[in-house]
Structure 1
């Protein structure tokens, strides 16, 4: 997520500079062929071009609305995870007690149970993040423009292994169990459920508290499933593919339709067809690319949901609920990009 006021114009131009080279080449070939080689027949009427341009504008608008919905839904999901995680921390701390008089556990032993439940939840956040950062074939971070911009910031889940993040959060047996599974976040929550069952058998929580805590695990499963739905189901490929074809059709026809319009202004001004074709092409193509980079809000791009930052915020809150003093620092934006 960009944490500044806006992307600078120079950043946008650098990000799209290869496209500008293509637009300049297309417009130059059309103009030189028309004016220098006297291929007057390549000129086409302006009205068909405008009709195609109008259709393309609608398609780009539809795509951007749809991809923004994916992005905003992802942000709402993680907002719900933040709220539910705080509730889990305070509920686990206050519900697991010696109030029922059936246990002789010391205050320190009760605190260790609180710590186990809360640390395991922090491990769940780490596992979920790592699963969401895995690369899918339809994602676009492998494009040269995005790989180049990616060098301006780091993605923790790409640089640090999940095992190293969980080693201080889970017991050895829990860590071994989780790492042996494919969907590790799912099985961390299953460990939480088994732990709650054990606590109920020891009368450290009553039926009401057990149901309440179990309901929160169900909520975490629900939010995890929503994340997986966005991650594992791409923006429909038929829309993405045909949209690209239609955009390029318009960009190829654009200088051929504009050239006759500039000829009406005079023979010298016909060369203005090149910069103006580049400008219009840049606007349409960049708007299409804006929608494309919003399709996959967990892929680790500059416009993604900052799930690493949100997880760290949750971790700080949960550790403070345990009255710990060794609290990790909040994540900072790197070149105004917050991950």
Structure 2
């Protein structure tokens, strides 16, 4: 349900529900699908202000791309929740149109803030040659010929395996996978939701590699991972059917409460690893108390050692499933 724009500050409101796919353990919604809700709220914001994604592409050849998404989850969302998303314009930082998204839900008769997210949007001009109209003047500042904030390329010596190079000497795990068409949009580019899938997948593979897989801790201790914070920034464009080399590196284990890992994604072009995205994700663990509730727990020694690479670590790489 769209509640409409308010006042003169270009703020929009929308009621929004999580999708069933994101309810993976009990009825809680995972971080990836929380970010999908943020994306949906942003697209609706543009739609309410007269710039729907379909119209921008079909008339002006502009693809709406979220190029930075920084999301904090303050309260868990459940499958039957109706969240109210408030989207506001934010100060320009030179990396695209900046927006803030806040979501609230009702809990025991009170309105509770559930999600806060900061988002950057760029309008990528499609070069495929079909005639298009000039972009609206108010959007022209956000039109780009190529996505991303830029990164530092890494030359690779002939015969060197990219994952071996990227994970050497680090508390890291790498994974190589050919980018399928369903991770892309506007015909050829990997979109933000594709990187969110990559982040979710590589965390799952990393934990399994360290001997503390999601199912292992769920079966043995009734523990599940929870994500209070995630961020992904697109640095360059990755294209359909390119191999994406994704690396997760543990940066910090905070006491026995959370750990933060960095995600870096690259494509190999002409012997050079080109960074296409970077991000971070923070995890804690919680014990399932009943079908609706959970509570955070301290990491045990097995989990601490696995995260620090002291046991259960293999060669530190994954391959295409």
TM-score, structure 1 length as denominator? 0.21
**Quick check: which one's strand share is greater?**
2
Higher helix share: 1
Q: TM-score of the superposition, structure 2-length normalised?
A: 0.22
Give the greater-gyration-radius structure (CA).
1
Larger RCO, structure (CA 8 Å, separation 6 or more): 1
